[in-house]
Amino acid sequence: MNPNYAAVSRPRLNALEANKVLKNTYMLLSATLAFSAVMAMVSMYINMPPMAYLISVIVAMVLGIFVLPKTANSSTGIGVLFLITGLLGFGLGSILTVYMAMANGPQIIATALGGTGIIFLGLSGYALTTKKDFSFLGGFLFAGMMVVVLAIIASLFIQIPALSLTISAAIIMLMSGLILFDTSRIINGGETNYILATFSIFLSLFNIFISLLNILGIMSSD
């Protein structure tokens, strides 16, 4: 979850500048997704243990909270973004290794991946074609994310499958709202930094994919 949203209003951009931010965001998103996928394959190839996921997420979160906001306005920010997305991909690889060992693991992974892609394309397409302003979702999404983070902290120490399922379902709904919110902010000029925009959309996709894996993994077994 991206903590780098500006808490103050920014000057609005014209349509040409907003399109440039959108184009740069999608180009950088494609590159970071590809890099992350390569890192996931490397992690799977060297058979990283599941613990690698926790370590990668911790380091990526520290970079995202403390380093990225300071570098997002320079070219260094792109390097930091690749480092974060590469780390997340590397951690993801260790989770995918566990799923691959399951009887229907490859089917679950393929379904979650395809589902994430369809959700992202559907939501982005809707926000881009309607050009509707989804900034009214801001308060709801941020409050929801804070509740989910508190629930995640609880679930680290209390292992209840129902809580894990509920958190995953809530994350999918919140991240879907966040994709609408982010895309709408870009096209309406609310987000001017394509590095931060890419980071936020990447995190939404990553969280939807992980949550779908969790839901499909739990629900596929009797």
Partner 1 sequence: MGLFLKITLAVVLVVLLWRMWPATKHWMENGPKGSRGDWMSFVLIIAAIVGFVALMIVSVRN
Positions that interact with partner 1 (CB under 8 A): 1, 3, 5-8, 51, 54-55, 57-58, 61-62, 65, 104, 107-108, 111-112, 115, 118-119, 122-123, 126, 132-139, 141-143, 145-146, 149-150, 152-153, 156-157, 169, 172-173, 176-177, 180, 212, 215-216, 219-220
Instruction: Check: CB of residue 56 under 8 Å from CB of residue 96.
Output: no
> Which residue, among 125, 116, 171, 164, has the nearest Cα to 148 in the 3D structure?
171
In angstroms, give the least distance from the CB of 31 to partner 1: 25
Q: Which is nearer to partner 1, 115 or 189 (CB)?
A: 115
The answer to whether 188 and 135 have CB atoms below 8 angstroms apart is yes
**Residue 27 or 150 having the CB closest to partner 1:** 150
Min. distance of Cβ 97 from partner 1 in angstroms?
Answer: 17
- 176 within 8 A of 137, measured Cβ to Cβ: no
Q: Which residues contact 134 (CB under 8 A, 6 or more apart)?
A: 127, 177, 180, 181, 183, 184, 185
Given the complex with partner 1, which of 44 and 137 has the nearer CB atom? 137
State in angstroms the smallest separation of the CB of 160 from partner 1: 15
Q: How far is the CB of 156 from partner 1 (least distance, A)?
A: 5
